[in-house]
């Protein structure tokens, strides 16, 4: 999942970004409303965390612009205001939820997960491809009976593969969903992480699941055909 965080308080922004990345999210960061709006209009994010008090363009104006441009991405508003009237204004402008500062990170995380579940309309499913199982909620991976330990980025990459079985994923698609704006397209970091995954889940060459599509990207499927 790829999130957009629009927050001008540097310490708050870095704290949230670091925590969410540790939870497996790709997180893009904007420090003012104009940049946040431009990034939000890209349409590549699964959720937007938007502070109301921003330089250049306030969060409510950003939100209204997104909705006018038919961007339906869920938006979680952040603000120091706690009055009911302020919350009503934000929700009426098109926000999906509202969180008042200061907040506990685990509450922010719970609200993000709730909004993402609401977006998909389902509880987080357990993913299975052949004998490979991934439990997103408990962050567990098994190949048969063997538990596999993955880093945060490896887990996010495998999650993306397993949500798109039999679909060829280009490096651009992988970068957009698993990495963020900091991704350097001139590096081979995606290929490196795919190799890390292969060493952990594809130890049996006769039952490998991650296949290279030469000149294009990768596909997760059963068999070589």
Percent of the chain with pLDDT over 70: 92
Domains plus CATH for the chain? 2-120 (3.40.50.2300), 127-220 (1.10.10.10)
Average pLDDT of the chain to the nearest whole number: 86
pLDDT of residue 194: 93
pLDDT of residue 80: 82
- CA 140 to chain CA centroid, Å, is 18
More confident call, 223 vs 182: 223
More confident call, 15 vs 223: 15
What residues contact residue 7 under an 8 Å CB cut-off, 6+ apart? 13, 16, 29, 30, 31, 49, 51, 54, 78
Query: What is the distance between the alpha carbons of residues 146 and 157, in angstroms, rounded to a whole number?
Result: 19
Query: What is the distance between the alpha carbons of residues 110 and 115, in angstroms, rounded to a whole number?
Result: 9
Q: Give me the torsion for CA of 105, 111, 112, 114, rounded to 10°.
A: 150
pLDDT of residue 58: 92
Query: What is the distance between the alpha carbons of residues 108 and 131, in angstroms, rounded to a whole number?
Result: 34
pLDDT of residue 1: 74
More confident call, 124 vs 1: 1
Provide mean pLDDT across the span 34-54.
Answer: 91
Q: Which residue has the tokens 């509450």?
A: 107
What residues contact residue 81 under an 8 Å CB cut-off, 6+ apart? 52, 87, 100
7 pLDDT higher than 60 = yes
Provide mean pLDDT across the span 36-64.
Answer: 91
**Using H for helix, E for strand and C for coil, what is the string for the chain?**
CEEEEECCCHHHHHHHHHHHHHCCCEEEEECCHHHHHHHHCCCCCCEEEEECCCCCCCHHHHHHHHHHCCCCCCEEEEECCCCHHHHHHHHHCCCCEEEECCCCHHHHHHHHHHHHHHHHCCCCCCEEECCEEEECCCCEEEECCEECCCCHHHHHHHHHHHCCCCCCEEHHHHHHHHCCCCCCCCCCHHHHHHHHHHHHHCCCHHHCCEEEECCCEEEECCCCC
pLDDT of residue 123: 55
Percent of the chain with pLDDT over 90: 39
- Max mean pLDDT among 18-22, 86-90, 176-180 falls in 18-22
184 pLDDT higher than 70 = no
pLDDT of residue 33: 94
Summarised one tens digit per residue, pLDDT across range 51-102 is 999 999 999 999 999 999 998 899 999 988 766 777 788 888 888 998 888 8
Would you say the pTM of this structure is higher than 0.85?
Answer: no
Could you tell me the pLDDT band of residue 122, with boundaries at 50, 70 and 90?
low
Could you tell me the pLDDT band of residue 172, with boundaries at 50, 70 and 90?
confident
Could you tell me the pLDDT band of residue 121, with boundaries at 50, 70 and 90?
low
């Amino acid at each position: 999942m790829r999130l957009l965080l629009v927050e001008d308080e540097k310490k708050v922004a870095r704290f949230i970004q670091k925590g969410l990345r540790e939870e497996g999210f790709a997180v893009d960061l904007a420090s003012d409303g104009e940049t946040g709006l431009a990034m939000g209009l890209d349409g590549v994010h699964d959720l937007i965390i938007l502070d109301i008090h921003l330089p250049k363009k306030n969060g409510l104006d950003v939100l209204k612009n997104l909705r006018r441009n038919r961007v339906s991405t869920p938006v979680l508003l952040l603000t120091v205001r706690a009055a009911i009237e302020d919350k009503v204004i934000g929700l009426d402008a098109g926000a999906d939820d509202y969180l008042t500062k200061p907040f506990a990170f685990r509450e922010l995380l719970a609200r993000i997960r709730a909004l993402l579940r609401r977006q998909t309309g389902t509880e987080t499913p357990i993913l299975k491809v052949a004998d490979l199982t991934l439990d997103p909620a408990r962050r567990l991976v098994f190949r048969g009976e063997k538990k596999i330990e993955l880093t945060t980025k490896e887990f996010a990459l495998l999650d993306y593969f397993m949500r798109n079985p039999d679909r060829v994923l280009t490096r651009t698609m992988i970068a957009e969903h698993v990495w963020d704006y900091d991704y350097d397209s001139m590096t081979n970091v995606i290929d490196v992480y795919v190799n890390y995954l292969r060493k952990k889940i594809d130890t049996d060459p006769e039952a490998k699941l991650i296949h290279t599509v030469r000149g294009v990207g990768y596909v997760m499927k059963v068999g070589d055909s």
